[in-house]
Amino acid sequence: MEKESLWLGAFRQPVRLLAIAFTTVVAVLFVWFVANRLLSEDAIGMHEMIRPAGRPLVAITLFAIAGAILSVSLYLSDTRGVIEYEPDGVFDIISLVCSRIAMIMTAVIVFVMFYEVVSRYVFARPTLWANELSLWIASFVFLLAGQYAMQQRSHIRIYVIYDMLPRWMQKFSDILSLFLIWVFTFAMVWGGYDDALRRFLRMETFGTAWDPPIPGIVKPAILIIICLVALQALSNIISDWNKAAEHHSTDDIDEAEIENIRRKLEK
């Protein structure tokens, strides 16, 4: 049964068809590359996949992969999980889309490592790129997961203390947390912008046999995503400002430890 659209509305079905089309193209191209690699010594490999200049098929493949990831992420972000917060505003939607990208990338890491294991131990042909590609993808999974955790209010908060506070003090603590997040973000961007720009402009590589531009891509991505996290934190506090105080369950927490903390706070 088709689930109710969360934010795409009338665009849900076109995005679904676009996701299917891009994914099909990627699957066909992957099969072609693998078959061609087995049959031809001059076939395009992973070394050429990060150097598409003069290779139109590589550029088409990269475009298809990007289109598949984006369209599938857009489609998956149009439904909300049972434990997920209801999105409220454009930044929540962006964070949901990024969370789906991270989800897809996690599956890609599993596929890459499976490919490496089969290639190494079944065909005795280990790859030169699986480890670096896994690290490259995992870095984005880590960054995007942080953004999603902020949107879902899943970051660290000591609820046993927070729930004891009156609503006005909860709001004050939220403002203080937001201030510290923005100070940290400002410091990161201020201190890392020049270095990130240099690495990006020269597309600094990793220095391995495959030599992917991991530093040139990841360093700017850190600054961009941390800015998105800061904006998401601001969006959270605006969205939650007029909500009633929440009280969180302590069923899975040691009741004796909670009582000890409360007694110490009362003293």
Q: What is the pLDDT of residues 162-175, one digit of tens each?
A: 888 888 898 999 99
DSSP letter string, 31-88: HHHHHHHHH-TT---HHHHT--TT-HHHHHHHHHHHHHHHHHHHHHTTS--TTSPPP-
∠1-100-33 over CA atoms, to 5°?
100
Q: What 3-state class would DSSP assign to 254?
A: coil
Q: Minimum mean pLDDT among 3-12, 67-76, 179-188, 197-206: which range? A: 3-12
Mean pLDDT of 210-217: 94
Map tokens 């089969």 to a residue: 118
Does the structure show a pLDDT above 70 at 84? Answer: yes
Does the structure show a pLDDT above 90 at 44? Answer: no
Does the structure show a pLDDT above 80 at 229? Answer: yes
Q: What is the DSSP secondary structure assignment for residue 193, as one 8-state letter?
A: H
Condensed to tens digits (0 to 9), the pLDDT of residues 21-32 reads 999 999 999 999
What pLDDT, on a 0 to 100 scale, did the predictor assign at position 155? Answer: 76
Q: Minimum mean pLDDT among 1-15, 85-99, 161-175: which range? A: 1-15
Where is pLDDT greater, at 265 or 134?
A: 134
SS (H, E, C) 116-160: HHHHHHCCCCCCCCHHHHHHHHHHHHHHHHHHHHHHCCCCCCCHH
Where is pLDDT greater, at 38 or 29?
A: 29
Confidence of residue 196 (pLDDT cuts 50, 70, 90): very high
Indicate if the alpha-carbon torsion angle 30, 34, 36, 40 is positive or negative.
positive
Between CA 3 and CA 18 the distance in angstroms is: 18
What pLDDT, on a 0 to 100 scale, did the predictor assign at position 107? Answer: 95
Where is pLDDT greater, at 165 or 155?
A: 165
Confidence of residue 1 (pLDDT cuts 50, 70, 90): very low
Tokens found for residue 44: 């395009």
Confidence of residue 253 (pLDDT cuts 50, 70, 90): low
Condensed to tens digits (0 to 9), the pLDDT of residues 52-63 reads 887 888 999 999
Q: Are 100 and 76 in contact (CB under 8 A)?
A: yes
- Percent of the chain past pLDDT 90, that is, above it, reads 59
Q: Are 211 and 205 in contact (CB under 8 A)?
A: yes
